[in-house]
Structure 1
Amino acid sequence: MTARLQGKTALVTGSTSNIGQAIAEVFAAEGAHVIVSGRSQERGVRVVEGIRAAGGRADFVRADLDGSAAASRALADEARRTLGGRLDILVNNAGIYPPATTGTTDEETFDRVYAVNVKAPFFLTAAIAPAMAAAGGGAIVNLGSWIARLGIPVGALYSSTKGAVETLTRAWAAEFGPSGVRVNAVSPGVIVPPAAPGEEPHPGEVMMHGTPAGAVGTPDAVAYAALWLAGDEAAFVHGAVVDVDGGRTGTAVIAR
């Protein structure tokens, strides 16, 4: 690794598995002291132990980001306390995706998905960005989604929350950028394990036919995009949404 985040501190929400875990591991490998956060103490401790075993710095802070301002503020405060008072990078990754259609989504589910996917990052950013600005700057990376801009039959609720996150990315870039806090987003495509031989493929894997990549992506692919946006190499990047989707939303090729 190249120590691109040496001396930096970072909070990655929803980092006890999958994309969030990959981001935490890559950030730590590049020199950052990372706060791993999520609801599961067991999984969080396991991720931290793995990072430390690889020579990185990490601590776990449990958080159930239910959308309340209080829960977001509590995580911000505990992360800063654990990191010695300074937080340079925030990754708003935590989210939930109930695979329901519009007609089968009840009001309780609707409110819960918006609480976790939109309200929680909104109030966490509100609790962290001003302090970043006061300390001289920082970087915020949000997680959008390819289905915020390419409609699919199942996922209207989730995709609408990610559309909100991508809009907030641009609004926050305008709001906090002049104070030295860069805000950008990564929009992942289909990130699922490929089917084993003889196994039925995931519908998302089938949807990658006819794309330049021709296959699903890995959590690491998203993590390295987040690393670039969080680091000094992206110092002139504000309000961008970087597609890491194998070309799914922007291109088409002849499927073979």
Structure 2
Amino acid sequence: MPSEPRFTFAPPATVFVPVVGQDTLFPVHRIYCVGRNYEEHAKEMGFTGREPPFFFLKPADAIVVAETDQTATIDYPRQTSNLHHEIELVVAIGTGGRNIQAADAHKHIFGYAVGLDMTRRDLQNDMKKQGRPWCIGKAFDQSAPIGPITPAAQAGDIARADIWVQVNGVDRQRSNISKLIWNIAETIEHLSAAWDLQPGDLIYTGTPEGVAAVKTGDVMDGGVSGLTPIHVEVVAA
């Protein structure tokens, strides 16, 4: 029998998200994010048209779980003075695969959740100007708040669901999932052509127009029709 592995230090704990109506937990493998996937948001960022989809990643431990009926907290991050909210529908992959066709994409989806792609916009913009990767603007600690995952069969007509976020009770972003430039199935097709999708992958599918800054003390209330809403407060580090 092989001996048990000996680690130089305790390995990190598995990152997981609760599942609505179940006592099981969804272990997170990778976080993929789709850039500029709503036309009006693309315009407000200075772009137009249906460009080919592009992706960036966040580390799994950027997850902050916003439990049902509770307010999660995230620290105002270092090195920024322009922290933006981006409300998103999150797709949870239950069955992996490569080169998945859009017509088969639904077979690979475990469920859906509400998420926030928090962005250090000033750092992201600085990296863009220099033609450098903008991981520092997107892939920082606590940059991926998420609510519980609703199994796909219980999520209703997600492709036509409303999506919104309010800050301190005032609307900031409000749109509909039907306005995605690349819909959920098309996104999975494109993504799985570049990476082998794995069970546990999360796909943040893009944000509608209305992104804006938040400050310490602000509370973000986000939702997608049919899914558990999230409540996230920004606190001093």
TM-score by length of 2: 0.29
Structure with more contact order per residue of length (Cα contacts < 8 Å, sep ≥ 6): 2
Task: Give the structure with the higher percent strand.
Answer: 2
Task: Give the structure with the higher percent helix.
Answer: 1
